[in-house]
Amino acid sequence: MFGLGLSEILVILVIFLVLFGAKKLPDIGEGLGKTVREIRKIKAEKKADKEKKEKEKPGNPISDLKKEVDGIPGVREVREIKETADKVKNLTKMLK
């Protein structure tokens, strides 16, 4: 953990306890946890957006065709059914 040993971590925790008190530490920990979760969520969203932009670059004939096909009623539902069927197929293969 960042090159810190057990004794260093204990000293840091004692300092936090003295500075903030026992009643504030759970609130600080909760806030820190929420912050870390939010940062991970933002990173995942940015990564997904970047991948989506790479797939849908303008002038890409495949992405242009997908946009046209998506306009047809029922295509999205059929894709979802196919993806679900593929997942079930993969699960049955794993169980065998």
60-81 pLDDT, tens digit per residue, is 666 667 777 777 778 778 888 8
pTM for the full predicted model: 0.43
Chain-centre distance for alpha carbon 46: 9
Tell me the pLDDT of the chain averaged across its residues.
82
**Token pair of 16, please?**
């936090």
Tokens representing 15 are 């300092």
For position 1, what pLDDT does the model report?
47
Where exactly are the structural domains of the chain? 1-55, 61-96
pLDDT for 33 equals: 92
Within its chain, how far is the Cα of 35 from the centroid? 14
